[in-house]
Amino acid sequence: MSSLKGWKDLPPATTVPASTSEAVETGQWRSMRPVWDEEKCIHCLQCWIQCPDKSIKANADGKVTGIEYFYCKGCGICAAVCPKNAIEMRPEAEFIEQ
């Protein structure tokens, strides 16, 4: 998942080439990870509406398709608003690759 660069590949002088936050991996901040259960989901899109970032993935048919961990900061709003408990917040430590 991580696309972090080493110091030799970073642009100099703290600069960031002109870009939007689309390129910023705020998922690095996350300590709790929302895990989506497709079986329980009724596609009400409450999570998609309430997500303060763009971390709930939905398709053109209005169906939730998953979670974008590149952006998700793990705030847990999606899990809190879900009427079916289809999103579970789990410690990020469980997902560390060995």
Q: Which residues bind other proteins (CB under 8 A)?
A: 4-7, 10-18, 25, 28-29
Shortest distance (Å) from residue 60 CB to other proteins: 33
Between residues 3 and 85, which has the closer beta carbon with respect to other proteins?
A: 3
Residue 8, CA atoms < 13 Å, CB-side half-sphere: 0
Shortest distance (Å) from residue 28 CB to other proteins: 5
**Phi, psi for residue 80 in degrees, rounded to 5:** -70, -35
What is the Cα–Cα distance from 93 to 85, expressed in whole angstroms? 21
Shortest distance (Å) from residue 45 CB to other proteins: 30
